[in-house]
């Protein structure tokens, strides 16, 4: 008998037929005498509908009340999943975040899970019930409903798998595994049967949308065995494991379109100036990714860096306000760019990788705007109009 | 400074404009330096939509899971109400049943409120916040979400008004008070400015849909001052009070269309038979209202009684099964009937009331099938085709 945590995303629960399909996967695993904890997201676009209603009220919505509103999506979903399981003869019980003991801090809309009090879940499992838990939500120390932000339900599933010491945590989604690139764009993308945490983490961080990096990080930290599977196609999916014996140089190509470039020209080249610039951005919680600084010409230099697109206005506002302190002449922005990254744990020992990537971009006539590298990743910024071409060219150079 | 409980039904919250209108009523009362607890129902037909989803899964749905599902309706509603109040500059906080300390028994879908732990509500009121509470829901001793059944949100509001010793409990709805008859059918129905608990209770029990009798009963028991008002028309509405000094003979005419008649012919007229019949129906939780038994002819008699329409099939099934024990010859049913009642606390001391009612029915050519009376009520069963005519004729005889 194994203890399995299975998570179903909104697209796997979007209507009654899909819900039935997801429940039949759970039922089959239950009938193999496994203990099952099922984590569900809100159905399809039900969250969007709730957000719309809130936005009709005003722009500055209380994050506490937004959490109360949004958490109803997963709550409805979990009740329907439990009903569906029972209609298949599988005993089931649904639990909200506060009932499942998911204790978080009080940071509404992006709370962190502090610990999980598993007593209720264990009591229900001991009664041979499938325990259906609402993803994405928890309860704060003051007894308020919280939501845990991006990648929420994946993170709930991995956290439950960690504290319950589950044998495996299966993430069911609408793709049948982790690919070398987004198969909707790159036709000959290949599916990985196995991938290790670090590679998955870089792929997730660089824009692959299968798993959120927060849940992969947690899985790595607690040694949770992850599987990414399709809820529609019966197959093995992708296993995310501690160590994959034979490393590929490059395990995937990811694209991130949520990128904008900011360039400051005529910046005074003097000590402390760059530090002031980036510490100012950090204080405003603006996440700077790639930084490019060409050698100074005389007393002046320029600097280019990337920020998430939604932070662009905020960054420009802050930079304009402090133009005097930061001592620069002009500011320009470009939000018609994207980031293409290659990721692979074996990359560090394979010197040919970078040159192969740049050659493929050159052959495809793509101009590279910025570059950044880590031990297991190389990222380039290219213009949006070159995006598809660059994505496919880089992928085809390695797969 | 007064403490006021205000309850808004689903039709008063059905869309953003109606929600804004309801919130502006609350905001105006808050700005008069009152403390406010606001109880909300689910928006418009959102509950119907949830029920539809559950019914698509199967016929025998777990009441526990149904409660989890349905309670999301009030939860969404309370969050939107709190957001709307905040957008008007009124500090507000929303609380689910479990957060508001509404402790119930474990009878899912028709739980009873056992007590209310008001600590959280009082703490929030002390912070000068309007406390928005989800109607219709509570938490069972085992920590499960319950719903409290028919008249749910009205009952939540009255229960809160009772334990908080509120100065008044205002029920906002889509009509502007309690009328002498349903104003949608009877054009010259008059609105009461005041009515006492007993009259309101009889009116509610006999089918007037403004307030559910459960909430009126509770208001009477705890001496809660009730007001029924329109959320759309600014007016005084109707006050429901302990004693209204000058009693009217007849305070209202109510119609209940949820009625069916069952007749058993050729029943053995022997001791214990009638007792077996009605104790059997009670065991099956079938609510018998009016009973008519003509004098026996020889060894045989017949009996006619009314049941709610939704219980008719169940009653017939049970009676057919026990035909041998109950010793009757034939069974016939009629579900094309309705009940018209006149209600009035002063009726007992006014002997002319009954004859005036029967005269008006006779004049209108309506055949009376059954009659039942209490100290403050006379009910008759008439055919559905006579229903409107009878309703208007009886009303016009008294108003």
Q: Which residues of B are annotated as a binding site for substrate?
A: 47, 74
CB contact under 8 A, A80 and B57: yes
**If we measure between CA atoms, which residue out of A294, A295, A296 comes closest to residue A304?**
A294
> Token pair for residue B106?
């474990």
- Asked if the Cβ–Cβ distance from A53 to B94 is below 8 Å, we say no
Span A274-281, average pLDDT:
81
Binding residues of B: 7-10, 47, 74, 173-174, 179, 184
Note whether A99 contacts B61, CB cutoff 8 Å: no
Which residue in the set A50, A71, A83 is minimally distant from B65, CB to CB?
A83
B104–chain A nearest CA distance, Å: 16
Output the pLDDT for position B244: 60
Cβ(A205)–Cβ(A342) under 8 Å? Answer: no
A386-389, long-range: CB within 8 Å, 24+ apart, which pairs?
A387/A255, A387/A257, A387/A338, A387/A340, A388/A185, A389/A364, A389/A365
- A161 pLDDT band (50/70/90 cuts)? very high
How many angstroms separate the CA atoms of B310 and B206, rounded?
Answer: 16
Per-residue pLDDT tens over the stretch B203-239: 776 666 678 888 888 999 999 999 998 888 887 888 8
Residues of A in contact with B72 (CB under 8 A): 72, 75-76, 79
Alpha-carbon gap: B252 to the closest alpha carbon of chain A (Å): 41
Contact in structure between A328 and A268 (CB atoms under 8 Å): yes
pTM (2 d.p.):
0.78
- Rounded Cα distance between A240 and A171, Å, is 11
What CA–CA distance (Å, rounded) separates A66 from A141? 18
% of residues, chain A, pLDDT over 90: 44
Pairwise CB contact (< 8 Å): A94 & B65: yes
Residues in contact with B179: Cβ distance below 8 Å, sequence separation at least 6, in sequence order: B186, B189, B190, B191, B192, B208, B210, B252
Extract the runs of DSSP E, i.e. beta strands, from chain A. 3-8, 35-40, 92-95, 102-104, 113-116, 130-134, 137-139, 145-147, 168-173, 194-196, 226-230, 238-241, 252-268, 291-292, 300-307, 330-343, 370-374, 377-383
Interface contacts A/B by beta carbons within 8 Å: 99
Q: Which band of pLDDT confidence, cut at 50, 70 and 90, is reported for residue A135?
A: very high
Token pair of A281 as six digits: 């951005």
- Cβ–Cβ below 8 Å for A57 and B120: no
Report the range of poorest mean pLDDT among A35-39, A140-144, A268-272, B243-247. B243-247
CB pair distance less than 8 Å for A68 and B84: no
**What is the average pLDDT score of chain A?**
88
Contact criterion met (CB < 8 Å) for A93 and B64? yes
- Give chain A positions within 8 Å (CB) of B76: 50, 53, 69, 72
Average pLDDT over residues B253-269: 87
What H or E segment, with its residue span, contains residue B262? strand B260-268
A289-322 residue pLDDT tens: 888 777 777 777 888 888 889 889 989 998 888 8
Q: Write down the pLDDT at residue B208.
A: 61
pLDDT at residue B69 tops 70: yes
Distance from CA of B281 to the nearest CA of A (A): 30
Residue B327: left (phi > 0), alpha (psi -120 to 50), or beta? left
Angle between helices A16-31 and B46-57 (to 10 degrees): 50
Contact yes or no for A68 and B79 at CB 8 A: yes
B305-332 CB burial, b ≥16 within 10 A, e <16:
bbbbeebbeebbebbeeeeeebbbeebe
CB contact under 8 A, B83 and A54: yes
Option in A57, A78, A82 nearest B83 (CB): A57
pLDDT given at position B206: 65
Please, what is the angle between helix B46-57 and helix A63-87, to 10°? 30
Q: Min CA distance, B288 vs chain A (Å)?
A: 33
Q: Which of A216, A246, A255 is nearest to A345 (CA)?
A: A246
Quick one: which of B290, B286, B291 has its CA closest to B317? B286
Cross-strand pairs, A260:
A307
A299–chain B nearest CA distance, Å: 51
User: Which residues in chain A have Cβ-Cβ distances shorter than 8 Å to B83?
Assistant: 54, 57-58, 61-62, 65-66, 69
Of residues A110 and B83, the one with the higher pLDDT is: B83
What is residue A248's predicted lDDT score, i.e. its pLDDT?
67
Count how many residues are written for chain B: 399
For B156-192, b/e burial (b = at least 16 CB within 10 A) is bbbbbbbbbebebbbbbbebbbbbbbbeeebeebbbb
Give the C-alpha separation, B368 to B261, whole Å. Answer: 13
For residues A127 and A137, the answer to whether their CB atoms sit within 8 Å is no
Question: Best mutation site among B40, B62, B129, B146 for testing chain A: the one with the most A CBs within 10 Å?
Answer: B62
Torsion (CA) A120, A122, A128, A129 in degrees, nearest 10? 40
Nearest beta carbon to residue A57 from set B16, B76, B96: B16
| DSSP string computed for B309-350 | GGGHHHHHHHHHHTHHHHT-SEEEEE-SEEEEEEE-TTGGG-
pLDDT above 90: residue A29 = yes
**pLDDT over threshold 80, residue A210:** no
How many residues are present in chain A?
Answer: 399
| Structural Rg of chain B based on CA atoms | 23
Tell me which of A21, A47, A67, A69 to substitute to probe the interface with B (most B C-beta atoms closer than 10 Å).
A69
Q: Given B65, B84, B94, which is nearest A68 (Cβ)?
A: B94
Chain A environment of B66 (Cβ under 8 Å): 79, 83
| Closest of B137, B153, B154 to residue B64, by C-alpha | B137
Asked if the Cβ–Cβ distance from B61 to A78 is below 8 Å, we say no
Mind listing the pLDDT tens digit for each residue in A71-96? 999 999 999 999 999 999 999 999 99
Residue in B closest to A60 by C-alpha: B87
Flag whether pLDDT at B296 surpasses 80: no
> Contact A93/B56, CB-based, under 8 Å?
no
Residue A109: list chain B partners with CB under 8 A: none
For residue B158, the distance in angstroms to the closest alpha carbon of chain A comes to 24
Distance (Å, rounded) from C-alpha B219 to C-alpha B224?
Answer: 5
Q: What is the pLDDT of residues B152-194, one digit of tens each?
A: 899 999 999 999 999 999 999 888 888 888 877 788 888 888 8
Short-list B100, B132, B188, B118, CA closest to B5 = B132
Element of type H or E holding B57? helix B46-57
Average pLDDT over residues A97-101: 97
Question: What pLDDT, on the 0 to 100 scale, is given for residue A126?
Answer: 96
What pLDDT does A208 receive? 61
Backbone angles phi, psi at B29, to 5 degrees: -70, -35
Is residue B248 scored above 70 in pLDDT?
A: no
pLDDT band with cut points at 50, 70 and 90 for residue A197:
confident
What's the gap in Å between the CA of A311 and the closest CA on chain B? 25
The confidence band for A351, taking pLDDT boundaries of 50, 70 and 90, is: low
> What would the mean pLDDT of A129-139 be, rounded to a whole number?
97
User: Cα-atom radius of gyration of chain A, to the nearest Å?
Assistant: 23
Q: How confident is the model at residue A136 (pLDDT cuts 50, 70, 90)?
A: very high
CB contact under 8 A, B69 and A58: no
Contact criterion met (CB < 8 Å) for A57 and B80: yes
Give the confidence band of B367 by pLDDT, cuts at 50, 70, 90: confident
CB contact under 8 A, A53 and B16: yes
Question: Can you tell me the distance from the alpha carbon of A135 to that of A144, in angstroms, rounded to the nearest whole number?
Answer: 16
Rounded to the nearest 10°, the torsion over CA B333, B335, B336, B339 is 110
Q: Which one, of A261, A282, A150, A137, lies nearest residue A205 by Cα?
A: A150
Question: Alpha carbon of B147 to those of A139, B46, B63, B132, B138: distances in Å?
Answer: 21, 16, 9, 17, 6
Mean per-residue pLDDT for A243-251? 68
């Amino acid at each position: 008998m194994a203890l399995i945590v299975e998570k179903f995303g909104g697209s796997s629960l979007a209507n009654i037929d899909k819900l039935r399909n997801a429940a039949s996967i759970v039922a089959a695993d239950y009938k193999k005498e496994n203990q099952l904890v099922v984590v569900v997201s809100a159905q399809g676009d039900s969250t969007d509908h709730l957000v719309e209603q809130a936005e009709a009220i005003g722009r500055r919505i209380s994050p506490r009340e937004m959490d109360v509103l949004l958490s109803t999506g997963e709550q409805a979903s979990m009740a329907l999943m439990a009903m569906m399981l029972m209609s298949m003869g599988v005993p089931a019980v649904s639990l909200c975040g506060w009932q499942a003991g998911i204790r978080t801090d009080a940071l509404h809309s992006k709370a962190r899970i502090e610990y999980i009090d598993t007593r209720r879940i264990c009591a229900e499992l001991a009664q041979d019930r499938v325990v259906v838990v609402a993803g994405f939500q928890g309860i704060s120390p003051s007894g308020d409903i919280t939501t845990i932000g991006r990648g929420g339900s994946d993170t709930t599933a991995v956290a439950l798998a960690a504290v319950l010491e589950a044998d495996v945590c299966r993430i069911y989604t609408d793709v049948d595994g982790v690919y070398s690139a987004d198969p909707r764009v790159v036709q000959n993308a290949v599916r990985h049967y196995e991938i290790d945490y670090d590679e998955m983490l870089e792929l997730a961080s660089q824009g692959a949308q299968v798993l959120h990096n927060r849940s992969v990080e947690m899985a790595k930290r607690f040694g949770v065995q992850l599987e990414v599977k399709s809820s529609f196609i019966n197959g093995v999916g992708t296993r995310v494991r501690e160590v994959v014996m034979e490393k590929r140089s490059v395990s995937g190509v990811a694209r991130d379109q949520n990128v904008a470039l900011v360039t400051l020209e005529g910046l005074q080249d003097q000590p402390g100036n760059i530090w002031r610039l980036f510490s100012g951005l950090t204080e405003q919680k603006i996440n700077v990714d790639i930084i490019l600084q060409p050698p100074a010409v005389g007393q002046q230099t320029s600097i280019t860096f990337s920020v998430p697109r939604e932070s662009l206005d905020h960054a420009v506002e802050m930079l304009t306000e402090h133009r005097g302190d930061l001592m620069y002449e002009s500011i320009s922005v470009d939000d018609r760019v994207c980031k293409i990254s290659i990721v692979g744990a074996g990359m560090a020992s394979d010197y040919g990788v970078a040159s192969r990537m740049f050659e493929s971009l050159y052959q495809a006539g793509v101009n590279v705007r910025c570059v950044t590298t880590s031990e297991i990743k190389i990222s380039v910024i290219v213009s949006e109009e070159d995006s598809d071409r660059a994505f496919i060219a880089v992928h085809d150079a390695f797969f």
